[in-house]
């Protein structure tokens, strides 16, 4: 199938051609036609599947049906809510790019920056507003936005917004919108909470799901390297050396851990930068830009970067710490193996994280291959200790058997079969974005 078969108008097809894409991804092929029909859509798609284009392209076409640009002082016609400021910026950039040949205006509003330029942009007239919930409510409180003319509402990364505690904000925002509107909800997973939200929001939605629940990217190879906690940094440096000059994304569980690891790597002449919720927006933007431009080799992040961060052909992701919630593993590892490229998801796992690993494998419905690196075999006499999560205090670890319990090795899982070759897959997520942990999310105000 090509984009020519999806019912998109010539101006949008022209942009797609200029970007060099010929073949829609599964979520685009399924979602675009039903969105163009004006139906509500409940879509399940992992990061890196091109879901931004799956809603942006048909929305631009629907809004342009009358062929008129927004006039200064006019009401906003489409509202796209995202969980983080980086993702908001990424989505708006995509909307701007796809609408290159259409007379439509878009802007983004999020916290961490001055509100005045945002107010000025809204007053000039906006068709599509991409926003984080907290900052949008700030504008509502100051009466600087008019949501009375919204025709289309999009909840992007809806599961993450609920994880970050935005449900009350979302409820308040929905109450301000016209009842007669089109609703699009995109989520990586369909939890009971997501289903309840959809049931109260949507009218006979079309259901689109292109990957099984909690699936990880098809082209990602997963491996666990058992190691003592005290030797993780040493093993990380060893693995970075094996990857040569290739860039990598490294995840830590806490902000303090990210800062500490960044300092340690820099001290060993490995260029690195850290991003997390305590960094200013300017610092985070610079770190992401330096990473994308190749000025730094290693980007160290908490889970704030797991959604929306997109680096072309990122070869590998390393979990220095396993995430506290298994769903985070899916989002972290979704940073590699995108747009038809293969990637490696590497996890450094100590005895403390045995339960976290089992939770991840249960969610993935398969074991992850384990491989002990020569010279880094774990000491079986070391007992497990509670884990510092950085958010919810200390998470209890399983009590090891007498004498300690080493990680089980020798399990294997086959690499998934790559998608069939054809036209270059269309990945809409082309600009850096990120995500946040429970505490970090409120910083989006």
User: Do both 207 and 292 map to the same domain?
Assistant: no
pLDDT of residue 333: 86
The tally of domains found in the chain comes to 2
User: Do both 201 and 287 map to the same domain?
Assistant: no
Q: Is 91 exposed, middle or buried (0-12, 13-18, 19+ CB in 10 A)?
A: buried
357 contact partners, CB below 8 Å, separation of at least 6: 224, 322, 347, 349, 368, 407
CA pseudo-torsion sign 175, 179, 185, 190: positive
pLDDT of residue 100: 92
User: Do both 190 and 59 map to the same domain?
Assistant: yes
User: Do both 341 and 272 map to the same domain?
Assistant: yes
* pLDDT tens digit at each of 445 positions of the chain: 789 889 999 999 999 999 878 888 888 999 999 999 999 999 987 666 788 999 999 999 999 985 455 555 557 999 999 998 888 988 999 999 999 999 999 999 998 889 999 999 999 999 999 999 999 999 999 999 999 999 999 999 898 888 888 999 999 999 999 999 999 999 887 878 888 888 889 999 999 987 544 444 467 899 999 999 999 999 999 999 998 888 999 999 999 999 999 999 999 999 999 988 788 878 888 888 898 888 999 999 988 655 556 666 688 999 999 988 887 888 788 778 765 667 899 999 999 999 999 999 988 888 999 999 999 999 999 988 877 655 444 444 443 433 333 343 333 333 333 333 333 333 333 333 333 333 334 334 4
- Separation of alpha carbons 220 and 153, rounded Å: 32
- Separation of alpha carbons 172 and 320, rounded Å: 38
User: Do both 195 and 279 map to the same domain?
Assistant: no
| Placement of tokens 């990473």 in the chain | 291
The answer to the question of residue 415 being in a domain is no
φ and ψ at residue 274, rounded to 5 degrees? -115, 145
pLDDT of residue 312: 64
The answer to the question of residue 262 being in a domain is yes
The residue range of the domain holding 230 is: 220-395
User: Do both 342 and 287 map to the same domain?
Assistant: yes
User: Do both 273 and 366 map to the same domain?
Assistant: yes
User: Do both 377 and 439 map to the same domain?
Assistant: no
Q: What is the pTM of this model?
A: 0.63
CATH number of the domain enclosing 352: 3.40.50.300
The answer to the question of residue 411 being in a domain is no
């Amino acid at each position: 199938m090509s984009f020519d078969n999806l019912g998109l108008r010539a101006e949008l097809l022209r942009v797609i051609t200029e970007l060099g894409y010929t073949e829609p991804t599964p979520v685009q092929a399924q979602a675009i036609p039903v969105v163009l029909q004006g139906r509500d859509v409940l879509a399940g798609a992992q990061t890196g599947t091109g879901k931004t284009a799956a809603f942006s392209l048909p929305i631009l076409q629907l809004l342009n049906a009358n062929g008129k640009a927004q006039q200064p002082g006019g009401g906003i016609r489409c509202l796209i809510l995202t969980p983080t400021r980086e993702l908001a910026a990424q989505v708006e950039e995509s909307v701007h790019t796809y609408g290159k040949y259409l007379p439509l205006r878009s802007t983004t509003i999020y916290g961490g920056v001055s509100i005045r330029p945002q107010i000025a942009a809204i007053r000039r007239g906006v068709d599509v507003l991409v926003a984080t919930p907290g900052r949008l409510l700030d504008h509502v409180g100051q009466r600087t936005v008019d949501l009375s003319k919204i025709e289309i509402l999009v909840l992007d990364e809806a599961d993450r917004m609920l994880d970050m505690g935005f449900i009350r904000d979302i409820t308040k925002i929905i109450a301000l919108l016209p009842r007669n509107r089109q609703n699009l909800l995109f989520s990586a997973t369909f939890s009971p909470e997501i289903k309840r939200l959809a049931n109260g929001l949507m009218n006979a939605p079309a259901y689109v799901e292109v990957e099984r629940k909690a699936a990880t990217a098809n082209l990602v190879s997963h491996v666990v390297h058992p190691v003592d906690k005290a030797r993780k940094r040493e093993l990380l440096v060893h693995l970075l050396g094996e990857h040569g000059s290739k860039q990598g994304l490294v995840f830590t569980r806490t902000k303090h851990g990210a800062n500490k690891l960044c300092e340690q790597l820099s001290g060993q002449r490995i260029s690195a930068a850290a991003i997390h919720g305590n960094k200013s927006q300017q610092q985070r933007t610079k770190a992401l830009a330096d990473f994308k431009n190749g000025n730094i080799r290693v980007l160290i992040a908490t889970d704030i970067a797991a959604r929306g961060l997109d680096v072309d052909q990122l070869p590998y992701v390393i979990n220095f710490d396993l995430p506290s919630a298994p769903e985070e593993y899916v989002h972290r590892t979704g940073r590699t193996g995108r747009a038809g490229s293969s990637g490696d998801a590497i996890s450094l796992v100590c005895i403390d994280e045995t339960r976290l690993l089992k939770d991840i494998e249960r969610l993935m419905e398969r074991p992850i291959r384990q491989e002990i690196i020569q010279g880094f075999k774990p000491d079986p006499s070391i007992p497990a200790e509670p884990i510092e999560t950085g958010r919810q205090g200390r998470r209890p670890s399983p009590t090891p058997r007498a004498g300690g319990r080493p990680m089980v090795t020798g399990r294997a899982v086959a690499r998934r079969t790559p998608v069939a070759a054809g036209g270059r897959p269309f990945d809409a997520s082309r600009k850096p974005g990120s995500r946040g942990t429970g505490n970090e999310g409120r910083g989006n105000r």
